[in-house]
């Protein structure tokens, strides 16, 4: 009955071999290594409490409010101006990758916390992590930090 689903491994091997040979292009690997180096990143993770229980229009509103608050912090603006910030939207929050100092995400979190006192409807969890990362080139050809933090 399942005989139509039997794989012919003889037909798959050439394709797998071709895929490996394309990835083994040493010129491309050297080019990527020149653009991306290992460095220490300091990451601020945020998560909106109860986000999935909110109606869609309220979900959008709280995410927009969070983005406004985050963009309004001095640490965010300084890192963005210096070109040393990666912003990763997470749906119910935002992840910010700072490269300047380990204090940057802490100061940003404190600024966000102070601003949230004026918005009691927006409850937020925050976490910070620092560690070595190596960037990757994404599908758009831009450098980005991998999700090695979790």
pTM for this predicted structure: 0.67
53/85 Cα distance (integer angstroms): 31
82/137 Cα distance (integer angstroms): 20
SS3 letters for 30-83?
HHHHHHCCEEEEEEEEEEECCHHHCCHHHHHHHHHHHHHHHHCCHHHHHHHHCC
Write down the residue that tokens 């940057």 correspond to: 104
pLDDT value, residue 39? 84
For 85-96, the pLDDT digits (tens) are 999 888 899 999
Percent of all residues in the chain with a pLDDT value above 90, rounded to a whole number: 53
Residue 134 confidence class, pLDDT cut points 50, 70, 90:
confident
Residue 136 confidence class, pLDDT cut points 50, 70, 90:
low
Task: Please identify, in words, the CATH class of the domain defined by 36-144.
Answer: alpha beta
């Amino acid at each position: 009955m399942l005989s139509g689903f039997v794989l012919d491994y003889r037909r798959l091997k050439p394709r797998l071999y071709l895929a490996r040979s394309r990835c083994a292009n040493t010129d491309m690997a050297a080019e990527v290594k020149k653009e991306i180096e290992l460095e220490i990143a300091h990451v601020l993770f945020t998560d909106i409490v109860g986000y999935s229980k909110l109606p869609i229009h309220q979900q959008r509103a709280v995410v927009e409010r969070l983005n406004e608050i985050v963009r309004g912090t001095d640490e965010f603006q300084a890192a963005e101006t210096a070109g040393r910030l990666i912003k990763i939207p997470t749906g119910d929050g935002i992840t910010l990758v700072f490269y300047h100092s380990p204090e940057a995400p802490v100061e940003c979190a404190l600024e966000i916390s102070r601003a949230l006192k004026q918005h009691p409807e927006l409850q937020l969890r925050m976490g910070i992590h620092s560690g070595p990362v190596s960037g990757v080139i994404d599908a758009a050809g831009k450098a980005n930090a991998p999700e090695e933090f979790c």
